[in-house]
Structure 1
Amino acid sequence: MSNLGEFDPDFYQSNYTIDNQEQSCNDSDAYGNVYGARIPQANEQPQFAFVPPEMLTSSELGINFDHIWQKTLTVLNPLKPADGSIMNATDLAGPILFCVALGATLLLAGKVQFGYVYGLSAIGCLGIYALLNLMSSSQVSYGCVASVLGYCLLPMVILSSCAVFFSLQGTTGTVCALVIIGWCSFSASKIFISALDMEGQQLLIAYPCALLYGLFALLTVF
């Protein structure tokens, strides 16, 4: 037993100190930097990447709200000169919104006409597209034609909103419908001649546009 008592202090005695622990931690950090990313410590603050403000604009989504606003103002003010560079941009966000608004206001007036609105829009855009390509020396895309005709549908939405509150089947309603048709066709023809450099041909373009918007007026009045 005396031999075991003498052996115990020697057995538990060790040269491993706190300095060795710190050195081993530093070695592990070094190995972590070599073989992979080091696990962040608790007292380290996370670093966030800076994102430029221009990358957060609506253009990343394909929607330019400035163009939508400029086109809407051009339609609402027929006497305002049209900017051809803006109108050449194919933008279908506004036209889709106005088509849905037209169908919704007709629905509030007790007329379920969504199919007619979409069908007339597609066929009318196809006809105006073919006509403009025959009349103009410069080619125009189908998306551009659909965009212009869709934005110029906004006055018709105003007419259908009035039909929610009172009937348009009368002299007053007929006069209002004719004014709205002239408004839509004049705005559309103004934009087309500005975008396609077709000066002196506005009446020739306004006539087929008036026929198209007349169909929408018939849906609204009757």
Structure 2
Amino acid sequence: MGMKTVEEHLKIQQLFSIRMGDFQQFEQDFYQSGYYIDDQEQATYGYEETAHQDDQHVDYNATQPGVFTPSMGLPPTDLLYTGQMFQPAKDSGTASSTGTDTFEDEPPLLEELGINFDHIWQKTLTVLNPFKPADGSIMNETDLTGPILFCISLGAMLLMAGKVHFGYVYGISAMGCLGMYTLLNLMSLIAVSYGCVASVLGYCLLPMVGLSTFAIFFSLQGVLGTLFALLVISWCSLSASKIFISTLAMDGQQLLVAYPCALLYGVFALLTVF
């Protein structure tokens, strides 16, 4: 039994040695290039040294062939746009570059809107003094700022007296201006505009505003109130006729122009008194 065991043990060793030889042969056949782990470590070490040496001599500022750089394809530096963004260059032919178009040279806002307080004051003084000669150049302007203000004031005074007559004031004013416009164009050789007629009749409404203010505190339904109303009507009609004949060169026809004006202002007086 002991001899058989030894023989079997020897046979096992021989088989193991044969298998190990076959495995080494397979390993040599698999790595035909002769590349082993030891060679890999040596190659890696040699690459690191070579790369470190190359980094010391590389000029990164130089343009490498086949490599894209941001400066490629751009124009020279002297041809680049050097202006500021969103700020276009000024044209030498414009008025802003010459300095003539400035905020100081622009007219005031009220003057652009056609509101001139000096002319309004001059026209108001002309109405308040019916015996003063009127300046036809001033009254020839179609200024409606004063007339609108006086119409609103008349309606406000009537409202304070307990009379809501804003619609009557505006309606009678429009119809009266249209009638006087037609009449003056028939009587005068000089054509007159509707705006000029409305401006003159509106400014001459100022004494009627004073009558409506007086009606707030005192009753005008009596002899004294009637006389006062007739005086205001004469005042308004005389001022309006004076301005019309001065503007339209209608000498000797003041009474003919004052009559229709008195009829118009008489209607406003009726609204104020009653």
Q: 2:251 aligns with which of 193, 199, 217?
A: 199
Establish whether residue 39 from structure 1 lines up as the match of residue 67 from structure 2: no
2:51 aligned with 1:4, yes or no? yes
Higher RCO (CA-CA < 8 Å; seq separation 6+): 1
CA distance in 2, matches of 1:169, 1:12: 112
Kindly report the root-mean-square deviation, in angstroms, between the aligned alpha carbons of the 2 structures: 2.6
1:132 equivalenced with 2:184 (yes/no): yes
Indicate whether 1:92 and 2:128 are aligned: no
Deviation at 1:147, TM superposition (A): 0.9
**Judging changes above 3 Å, is the alpha-carbon distance between structure 1 residues 128 and 40 closer, same or farther for their aligned structure 2 residues?**
closer
Change (3 A) 1:166 1:7: farther
Give a deviation string over 1:61-101, Cα, whole Å, max 9, x none. Answer: 12222222211111112122100111111111211111111
User: C-alpha offsets along residues 104-153 of structure 1, whole Å, 9 cap, x if unaligned?
Assistant: 11111111101111111111111111221222122211111111001100
Partner amino acid for 1:88?
Answer: N
**1:73-152 alignment runs, 5 A limit:** 73-152=125-204
Cα distance in 1, alignment partners of residues 208 and 106 from structure 2: 36
Q: Distance in 2 between matches of 1:54 and 1:184?
A: 38
The residue number in structure 2 matching 1:186 is 238
User: What's the offset of the Cα at 1:217?
Assistant: 0.5
Matched residue count: 205
- 2:110 equivalent in structure 1: 58
- Structure 1: state its 5+ residue gaps: 16-23, 42-46
- CA-CA distance at 1:170 after TM superposition: 2.2
% identical equivalent positions? 66
Q: Give 1:54 deviation, angstroms.
A: 5.0
The two structures have a TM-score, normalised by structure 1, of: 0.82
